Amino acid sequence: MEIKDAATGFSALAQTTRLQVLRELVVAGPKGLPAGELAQQVSVPSSTLSFHLKELLLAGLVTSERDGRLIIYRANYSGIHGLVEFLLRDCCSSDKEICGIDDMREAARQALEAT
């Protein structure tokens, strides 16, 4: 992942509603959530949710798919993994034991495999 892409992703997550939306979509798993249900879960109007989803889509952290009259949103796990890997790639590269980086990588890998 390029630094520009990482900055876009982190910028998208630097807002509480967007972070909450992404967390809800991660919890929902591969089935995702329709926009209306997602708006209720995060307690925001549909127009506000639409704005935030657009930012998450542009950052590559969320995907959308039309299903009849509904739009289903899903967490983009590869985009999330890319951000995590960007952070961990060079973290404590001189002494990984100090940061517990190998443990964090293993935990992240296991979490992704569980989805």
pLDDT at 96 over 80: no
Kindly report, residue by residue over 63-86, the tens digit of the pLDDT: 999 999 999 999 999 999 999 888
* Burial profile 72-83: b = 16 or more Cβ within 10 angstroms, e = fewer: bbbbbbebbebb
Please indicate whether residue 115 or residue 42 has the higher confidence score (pLDDT).
42
Tell me what the pLDDT averaged over the chain comes to: 88
pLDDT of residue 115: 58
pLDDT at 92 over 80: no
What is the model's pTM?
A: 0.79
Please indicate whether residue 101 or residue 72 has the higher confidence score (pLDDT).
72
pLDDT at 2 over 70: yes
Angle, alpha carbons 59-62-64 (nearest 5°): 125
- Among 6, 96, 13, 27, which residue's Cα sits nearest to residue 38? 27
Task: Average the pLDDT over 40-48 and give the result.
Answer: 94
**Class assignment of domain 3-76?**
mainly alpha
Residue extent(s) of CATH 1.10.10.10 domains in the chain: 3-76
Confidence band of 23 (pLDDT split at 50, 70, 90):
very high
pLDDT at 93 over 90: no
